[in-house]
Amino acid sequence: MPTLFRFLLVILVLAGLGYAAMFALAYLVEPDPREMTVPIPSTRLPSSS
């Protein structure tokens, strides 16, 4: 049984580290807003006639 508890402890520690990394990325990293342009092919535009 001690190996099962050790395994579960390692899994819990890794899950905690993953949660902490996601928390840090979500709250501490600020994205820089910028403009985005997407070219549209003229074949997809509706015809005016």
In a domain, 9, yes or no: yes
The reply to whether the predicted model has a pTM over 0.85 is: no
In a domain, 6, yes or no: yes
Which residue range is the domain that position 11 belongs to?
Answer: 1-29
In a domain, 24, yes or no: yes
**What distances in angstroms separate CA 40 from CA 34, 35, 37, 43, one per listed residue?**
19, 16, 9, 8
34-44 pLDDT, tens digit per residue, is 999 988 887 87
In a domain, 44, yes or no: no
In a domain, 18, yes or no: yes
**What distances in angstroms separate CA 39 from CA 3, 33, 47, 48, one per listed residue?**
58, 19, 17, 19
Q: How confident is the model at residue 16 (pLDDT cuts 50, 70, 90)?
A: very high
Report how many domains make up the chain.
1
In a domain, 25, yes or no: yes
In a domain, 1, yes or no: yes
In a domain, 41, yes or no: no
Please tell me the distance from the alpha carbon of residue 12 to that of residue 47, in angstroms, as a whole number: 59
Contacts of 37 (CB under 8 A, 6+ apart): none
